[in-house]
């Protein structure tokens, strides 16, 4: 049993987990730690509010690697934001391994298993590993990344020991609402070498449209809310590409209720594609270097009322140039980032509100 204040997660028996995995995902049961067991108050009738928090790319390299000397405080004050949410998620953009051979590419990232300790201590409940760095150290590094995540009991999406696992959603139930989360990568670099296959470990890719569409459709059959976390876009482009827009439309049609994106190293706009909420880019978050134009970041808050999206807000933050930690913004800085973020919608083609 793992306690993450102020929530309590109860792990399911292995046999039940296996059965649920076969049925398209894992399930986590939530209840108030202050009212355990049979003495708990009756469940309130009617839909309840559920708070979700999403942020962008996380690395533990160079300046942020030293944060793992104290995993419990690695994320700094933004951890309070995650811990206050019913569910929080980021993209962990690194292999978690000390082995492997570098792949034929320019940038390589890897971190020790204490990276998972830091993520859990910050109150993050699930991570996406569908990105262009999880396989930086090859199949050996990927095997370690998966095994250590499982050992840490940290849910993840977007990778697996075969294509069935990679495209499988993580499913959790919060206040009676079943939420399915999936992760796909759309960055072209080495994708044919890295994509998961029936007999090969790897990542879930948007380029495999058959598996991607089928995974969303299947999730929509078993969950009340389907969330897709995407790694996509053109680096340093504040507007979504036509490829992103096309794929967002395909996934919305397949049954995605929310599409959350990252990868471009800067914020990209958000809005509504019919009844599907789309956020095209949440930028760097806990980041390894001062990246030109990318220190503006933030946390996306989505408030559900039952299975319906009630409210979406963006909380600005700024990446500290010394530590690499995202620090929640206040005053003029918060106003500047919020104004900039609101203006990014213009080039997305998305609506201000659902129909």
pLDDT at position 35 is: 35
Global model pTM greater than 0.85: yes
Q: Which of 40-49, 212-221, 293-302 has the highest mean pLDDT?
A: 212-221
Distances (CA, A) of 179 to 23, 110, 172, 304, 316: 14, 30, 5, 11, 26
- Alpha-carbon span 4 to 339, nearest angstrom: 34
The mean pLDDT value of the chain amounts to 90
- Say yes or no to pLDDT of 287 above 90: yes
pLDDT band at 9 (very low <50, low <70, confident <90, very high): very low
DSSP state of 153: T
pLDDT at position 16 is: 32
Domain ranges of the chain: 2-32+46-347
Helix, strand, or coil (residue 132): coil
**Domain 2-32+46-347, classified CATH 3.60.21.10, yes or no:** yes
Task: Find the mean pLDDT for residues 45-66.
Answer: 96
pLDDT band at 6 (very low <50, low <70, confident <90, very high): very low
CB atoms within 10 A of CB 52: 24
Distances (CA, A) of 250 to 8, 68, 218, 273, 308: 36, 39, 14, 11, 21
- Say yes or no to pLDDT of 2 above 50: no
Write out pLDDT tens, residues 82-109: 999 999 999 999 999 999 999 999 999 9
**Cα end-to-end span (Å), the chain:** 43
Write out pLDDT tens, residues 179-204: 999 999 999 999 999 999 999 999 99
């Amino acid at each position: 049993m793992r306690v993450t204040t102020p929530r309590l997660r109860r792990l399911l028996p292995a046999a039940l987990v296996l059965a649920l995995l076969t049925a398209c995902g894992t399930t986590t049961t939530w209840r108030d730690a202050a009212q355990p067991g049979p003495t708990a108050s009756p469940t309130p009738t009617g839909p309840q509010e559920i708070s979700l928090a999403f942020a962008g790319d996380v690395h533990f390299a160079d300046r942020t690697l030293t944060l793992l000397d104290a995993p419990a405080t690695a994320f700094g004050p933004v951890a309070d934001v995650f811990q206050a949410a019913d569910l929080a998620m980021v993209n962990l953009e690194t292999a978690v391994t000390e082995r492997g051979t570098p792949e034929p590419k320019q940038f390589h990232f890897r971190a020790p298993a204490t990276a998972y300790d830091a993520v859990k201590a910050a109150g993050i409940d699930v991570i996406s590993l569908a990105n262009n760095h999880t396989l930086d150290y090859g199949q050996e590094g990927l095997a370690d990344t998966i095994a250590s995540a499982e050992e840490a009991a940290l849910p993840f999406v977007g990778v697996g020991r075969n294509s069935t696992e990679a495209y499988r959603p993580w499913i959790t139930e919060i206040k009676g609402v079943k939420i399915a989360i999936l992760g796909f990568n759309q960055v072209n670099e080495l994708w044919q070498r890295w994509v998961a296959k029936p007999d090969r470990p790897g990542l879930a890719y948007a380029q495999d449209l058959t598996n991607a569409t089928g995974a969303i459709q299947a999730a929509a059959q078993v969950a009340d809310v389907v969330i897709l976390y995407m790694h996509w876009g053109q680096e340093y482009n504040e507007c979504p590409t036509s490829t992103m827009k096309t794929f967002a439309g395909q996934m919305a049609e397949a049954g995605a209720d929310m599409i959350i994106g990252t990868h471009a190293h800067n914020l990209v706009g958000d809005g509504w594609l019919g009844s599907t909420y789309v956020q095209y880019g949440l930028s760097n978050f806990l980041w390894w270097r001062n990246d030109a134009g990318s220190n503006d970041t933030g946390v996306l808050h989505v408030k559900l009322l039952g299975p319906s999206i009630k409210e979406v807000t963006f909380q600005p933050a700024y990446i500290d140039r010394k530590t690499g930690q995202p620090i929640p913004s206040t005053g003029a800085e918060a106003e500047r980032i919020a104004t900039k973020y609101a203006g990014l919608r213009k080039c997305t083609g998305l609506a201000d509100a659902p129909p």
